[in-house]
Amino acid sequence: MEEMRYQIDLLKAMNQKLSDAERMYRLICDTSNNAFLYYSFRTGQVRTLGVWDRLFDFHIRDGKDVVKFYDIVDDKYVLPLRDTLYIEKQKLLSDSIQCRLKDSKTWLEFETDVCYDENGAPTDKIIRIKDVTKFKVQNEELTYMAYYDSLTGLYNRNYFVRILGDFVRRAKEEKAIVSVMFLDLDDFRKINDSLGILIGDELVQQVGQFLGTFRDEQISICHMNSDIYCIAIYDPCGDRSVEHIHQVIRKRVKEGFRLSSGQELKVTVSIGVAEYPEAAQNALELINCAEIVMFKAKNSGKDMIKYFNAPILNEFLQSVAIENKLKDAVYNENFVLHFQPQYYADTRRLRGVEALIRWRDESGKMISPVVFIPIAEKNGTIVPIGNWVIEESVRIFAEWKRKYGYPLILSINISAIQYKREDFVNQILGILNKYGISPGEIELEITESVLIDDLSEVKDKLHLLQEYGIRVSLDDFGTGFSSLAYLKGLPIDTLKIDKSFIDSVVEDDSSRIITESMISMVGKLGFETVAEGVENQEQYDYLKNIGCDVIQGYLLGHPMPAEGIEELLIHLL
């Protein structure tokens, strides 16, 4: 009896322990967020556990029931899933598989484990089923971010470099060509500045979407950044040739893009092209070469395509070298000023001088401003250089005035970047004050590039200069966009007619007609006219006859060091 009671207690205790364990396992299963399919190789028992009911509206009672899964997963996953769900199978092709359901949203992961006894015979099998939709979506987003540019939907730079790398490797094997087109919208900054960044973005997006239409197996397109795109073409020919694609792009961007605001924006693009194997041997270098050539297209007047060649590369390398040396030159003030005399056409009396900068590099060689001023304007060194020119020229000018007392006008070239600085007028006034020069003795030569931006701001500054009595001259007149009608409202004192007109004035009827009407109208508007680049007597006589006021050019005097002007002044005494 005792013995029996003991046995019963023991059994109860064991049952209790078992059901505790069962409860514990159930709890673990239920809170793990997984559904489980259990199979016992020994008994053939199939059980479903965990959050099964949350994921499925069916149950699996034996091995044959697994076909129920095939109704809910996307067709393309049925075959691989069959292997995983073949319940009696011991060795699987893969122990983990992710499937999308027919709802096209949900992703499930099936993970299988098989347990073996000490003899290596399978005992149990567990298939864990988990809803991985959230991770999958996050993953897709990450993948998208890794490969695509969110604004345009085109490839991003990194992925493009990879694809271009693949193109180049393949081209090496197949002895093919790979072309890279580097595209940059013209005057995009102006659009951004005047219409706002949102409009700019919308334009970039629309252009990107249009460029995306070229995409195929052999053509890859990316949005590099800002308003820059790249197209890589494997084995370009026919409809896939650079020329053809360029024509299509050119036509499309000129038609204009309609923005959500209702505005229509027409643009032009500058394109640089570099080809494997001619220009470079790898993806990054190809892109660099194409970019360099694109700059060349920009500097040659925009809205055009340029192809890589060795001279362009050399020119670029030279400008990089100059850029590096220029910073030292600014620091060491390795510049000199030359002055070119200007004479009244009718009396041949000296009117004044134009200050023209030269850079003496470390070897003593003189570098022309035509070479380094554009670089200085690009990298900002024009500001200290320009300041130096103003102060140094005024200093020398003041010395002449003190020594010779001859009434002269000093003309100083001013870059748009300098002109636009807030402290510009005050700075000039400060320097004039320091050297005892009156504002009327100074003439600032500005180019039309100054006038292109915010016109009302430009005008305000011109009026301010005029109020102080500082003269303003419009340089290189006739090369840009300005019409005389447009000039009427501007407080300008002098127009400098560009050398290109003067060059053809004697031979060419049309430029003669333009120059004549220009000079007569300018006279009527009250501007003084200066002809620059006058090289021979014929030009001089002609210009004098049609009423041009002032002559400047090699005929009457080359630009010369300050001492040269002193010589002139001594003889005038």
How many residues sit in the footprint of ligand C2E (CB under 6 A)? 21
CB 244 to ligand C2E: min, Å: 39
Q: Which of residues 457-496 bind ligand C2E (CB under 6 A)?
A: 475-476
Q: Which is nearer to ligand C2E, 120 or 301 (CB)?
A: 301
CA dihedral 8→13→19→20, nearest 10 degrees, is 170
Could you tell me the smallest distance in angstroms from the CB atom of residue 432 to ligand C2E?
A: 17
Closest CA to 245 of 155, 305, 177, 163: 305
Of the pair 131, 441, the CB lying nearest Ca ion is at: 441
The secondary structure of 60-108 as a DSSP string is --SGGGGHHHHHHB-GGGHHHHHHHH-TT--S-S-SEEEEEBTTSS-EE
For the bound state, the minimum distance from the C-beta of residue 475 to ligand C2E, rounded and expressed in Å, comes to 5
Q: Which does 553 bind (CB under 5 to 8 A by kind): Ca ion, ligand C2E, none?
A: ligand C2E
Beta strand 442-446 with 550-552 is: unpaired
Residue (69 or 397) nearer to ligand C2E, CB: 397
Provide the minimum distance between the beta carbon of 339 and ligand C2E in the complex, in angstroms, as a whole number: 10
Q: Report the amino acid identity of residue 31.
A: T
Site string for ligand C2E, 298-337 (x = CB under 6 A): ----------------------------------------
Angle (nearest 5°) at CA 527 between 521 and 531: 85
Q: Mark 489-528 with x for binding to Ca ion (rule: CB under 5 A) and - for no binding.
A: ----------------------------------------
Q: Which of residues 220 and 340 has its CB atom nearest to Ca ion in the complex?
A: 340
Closest to ligand C2E by CB, 186 or 445: 445
Contact of residue 192 among Ca ion, ligand C2E, none (CB under 5-8 Å per partner type)? none
Residue in 289, 280, 298 with CA at minimum distance from that of residue 316? 289
* Closer CB to Ca ion, 179 or 529, in the complex: 529
For residues 368 and 517, which CB has a smaller minimum distance to ligand C2E in the complex?
368
String of contacts with ligand C2E for each residue 360-389, x by CB under 6 A: --------xxx--x------------x--x
Per residue in 106-121, is it b (16+ CB within 10 Å) or e — as a string?
A: bbbbbbbebeeeeeee
The option from Ca ion, ligand C2E, none interacting with 368 (CB < 5 to 8 A, set by class) reads ligand C2E
Residue among 354, 345, 349 at smallest CA distance from 407: 349
User: According to the binding rule CB under 6 A, does residue 411 interact with ligand C2E?
Assistant: no
Q: Which does 494 bind (CB under 5 to 8 A by kind): ligand C2E, Ca ion, none?
A: none
**Which are the contacts of 187, defined by CB distance < 8 A and separation ≥ 6?**
267, 302
Q: Which of 152, 340, 342, 473 binds ligand C2E (CB under 6 A)?
A: 340
Under the binding rule (CB under 5 A), the answer on residue 475 touching Ca ion is yes
Q: Which is nearer to ligand C2E, 14 or 371 (CB)?
A: 371
| Least distance between ligand C2E and beta carbon 404 (Å) | 23
Q: Round to whole Å and give the CA distance between 291 and 186.
A: 14
Residue 370 contact, options ligand C2E, Ca ion, none, Cβ 5-8 Å cut-off depending on partner type: ligand C2E
Question: Total residues at the site for Ca ion (CB under 5 A)?
Answer: 4
Residue 443 lies near ligand C2E (rule: CB under 6 A): no
Report the C-alpha gap between 335 and 54 in whole angstroms. 81
How far, in Å, are 150, 228, 364, 448 from residue 189 at the CA level?
21, 12, 38, 18
Place of tokens 């092709």: 93
Binding Ca ion (rule: CB under 5 A), the pick from 205, 319, 413, 511 is 413
How far is Cα 182 from Cα 291, in angstroms, rounded to an integer? 6
Residue 342 near ligand C2E by CB under 6 A: no
Q: How far apart are CA 67 and CA 56, in angstroms?
A: 13
Residues 414-473 that bind Ca ion (CB under 5 A): 445
Write out the binding residues for ligand C2E, residues 526-565 only, by CB under 6 A. Answer: 532-535, 553-554, 559
Q: Is 414 exposed, middle or buried (0-12, 13-18, 19+ CB in 10 A)?
A: buried
Residues 6+ apart with CB under 8 A from 154: 148, 208, 211, 212, 221, 222, 223, 229
SS3 string of 200-234?
Answer: HHHHHHHHHHHHHCCCECCEEEEEEECCEEEEEEE
Binding test (CB under 6 A) with ligand C2E, winner from 253, 287, 329, 357? 357
Judged by beta carbon distances under 5 to 8 A according to partner kind, the member of ligand C2E, Ca ion, none in contact with residue 180 is none
User: What does 535 interact with, of ligand C2E, Ca ion, none (CB < 5 to 8 A by kind)?
Assistant: ligand C2E
Query: Which of ligand C2E, Ca ion, none does residue 446 bind (CB under 5 to 8 Å by kind)?
Result: none
Please check whether residue 339 is in contact with residue 357, taking contact to mean a CB–CB distance below 8 angstroms.
Answer: no
Residue 99 contacts by C-beta under 8 Å, 6 or more apart in sequence? 73, 74, 77, 80, 81, 107, 108, 110
Nearest Cα to Cα of residue 555 among 531, 571, 528, 573: 531
Is residue 413 part of the contact set for ligand C2E (CB under 6 A)? yes
* Helix pair angle (133-147, 157-174), 10° resolution: 70
Complex with ligand C2E: residue 405 or 561, whichever CB lies closer: 561
Contact residues for Ca ion, defined by CB under 5 A:
413, 445, 475-476
Contact residues for ligand C2E, defined by CB under 6 A:
340, 356-357, 368-370, 373, 386, 389, 413, 415, 445, 475-476, 532-535, 553-554, 559
